[in-house]
C-alpha cells in the first residue's frame, strides 16, 4: 500500500510540474539581447522590490520625489517661422498649437519648443499653459506669455521645463487665451 501511495504522489508531482512548465511557455517573454536574460512578468514583479537606482526612477515615476513648485511664468523670445492662412472663424480657432517637442539640455533643464499659429487677421497675444509630466504625475507647470503674433504669423518659442535631473517623459500644452 505504501508503494501505491508513493506512485500516486509522484504522478501528482509530475503532473504539477508539467502544468507549470506549460503555463510558463504561454507567458510573454523578452530576451535582453545584451545580457541574454529572459524577462517574464514574474521576474519583473520579483525584482521590482529591489532598491531602485536614480536612473530607474525615470521608469517608475512613483519613486521620484519632486517638490511641488509654484507655477512659473515665462516670457520667451519668439522666432517668426512663417505664415499661415487667415482662416479663424466659427470652426477654426484664433490661435492653434502644434504638438510640442521635448528634449533635455544636459546639466541644464528640459526644453520644449512650441509652434503657435495666429489664424486671425488681428494681432494676438496668447497665453499657453504647459505641463511637464513623468508617468501621470506633473513635475512642473509653466505659463507662457507669447509675444504679440501678427496676422497669419507662425511663431516658434522655447519653453524651459524643470531641471535636467527631474525625469520627464512628455509635455502637454494648451492655449489658455484667446479662446
The residues spanned by each domain of the chain are 71-177
User: Quick one: average pLDDT of 154-178?
Assistant: 93
| Residue 23 phi, psi dihedral angles, 5° rounding | -70, -30
| Residue 16 phi, psi dihedral angles, 5° rounding | -65, -40
Give the three cell numbers for residue 151. 496676422
> What is the per-residue pLDDT for 136?
85
> What is the per-residue pLDDT for 121?
96
Q: Which CATH class is domain 71-177?
A: mainly beta
Distance CA 63, CA 57 (A): 6
Say what percent of the chain tops pLDDT 90.
Answer: 51
User: Quick one: average pLDDT of 167-176?
Assistant: 94
Q: Give yes or no for a contact between 107 and 164, defined as CB atoms under 8 angstroms apart.
A: yes
Q: How confident is the model at residue 6 (pLDDT cuts 50, 70, 90)?
A: low
Q: How confident is the model at residue 118 (pLDDT cuts 50, 70, 90)?
A: very high
Residue 54 or 174, more confident = 174
> What is the per-residue pLDDT for 46?
45
Distance CA 172, CA 166 (A): 16
pTM of the model: 0.65
Q: pLDDT tens digit string along 61-94?
A: 666 666 666 789 999 999 999 999 999 989 999 9
Distance CA 167, CA 70 (A): 18
Q: How confident is the model at residue 165 (pLDDT cuts 50, 70, 90)?
A: confident
> What is the per-residue pLDDT for 71?
86
Q: How confident is the model at residue 45 (pLDDT cuts 50, 70, 90)?
A: very low
Q: How confident is the model at residue 18 (pLDDT cuts 50, 70, 90)?
A: very low
User: Quick one: average pLDDT of 46-64?
Assistant: 55
* Beta strands 127-134; 103-105: pairing state: unpaired
Say yes or no to pLDDT of 55 above 90: no
Amino acid at each position: 500500500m505504501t508503494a501505491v501511495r508513493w506512485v500516486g504522489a509522484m504522478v501528482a508531482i509530475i503532473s504539477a510540474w508539467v502544468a507549470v512548465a506549460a503555463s510558463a511557455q504561454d507567458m510573454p517573454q523578452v530576451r535582453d539581447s545584451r545580457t541574454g536574460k529572459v524577462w517574464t512578468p514574474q521576474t519583473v514583479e520579483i525584482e521590482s522590490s529591489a532598491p531602485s537606482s536614480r536612473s530607474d526612477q525615470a521608469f517608475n515615476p512613483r519613486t521620484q520625489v519632486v517638490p511641488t513648485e509654484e507655477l512659473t511664468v515665462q516670457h520667451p523670445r519668439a522666432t517668426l517661422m512663417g505664415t499661415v492662412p487667415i482662416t479663424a472663424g466659427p470652426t477654426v480657432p484664433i490661435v492653434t498649437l502644434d504638438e510640442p517637442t521635448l528634449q533635455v539640455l544636459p546639466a541644464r533643464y528640459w526644453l520644449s519648443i512650441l509652434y503657435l499659429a495666429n489664424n486671425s487677421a488681428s494681432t494676438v497675444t496668447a497665453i499657453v499653459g504647459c505641463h511637464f509630466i513623468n508617468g501621470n504625475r506633473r513635475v512642473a507647470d509653466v505659463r507662457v506669455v507669447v509675444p504679440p503674433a501678427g496676422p497669419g504669423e507662425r511663431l516658434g518659442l522655447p519653453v524651459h521645463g524643470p531641471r535636467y535631473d527631474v525625469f520627464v517623459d512628455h509635455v502637454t500644452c494648451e492655449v489658455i487665451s484667446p479662446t
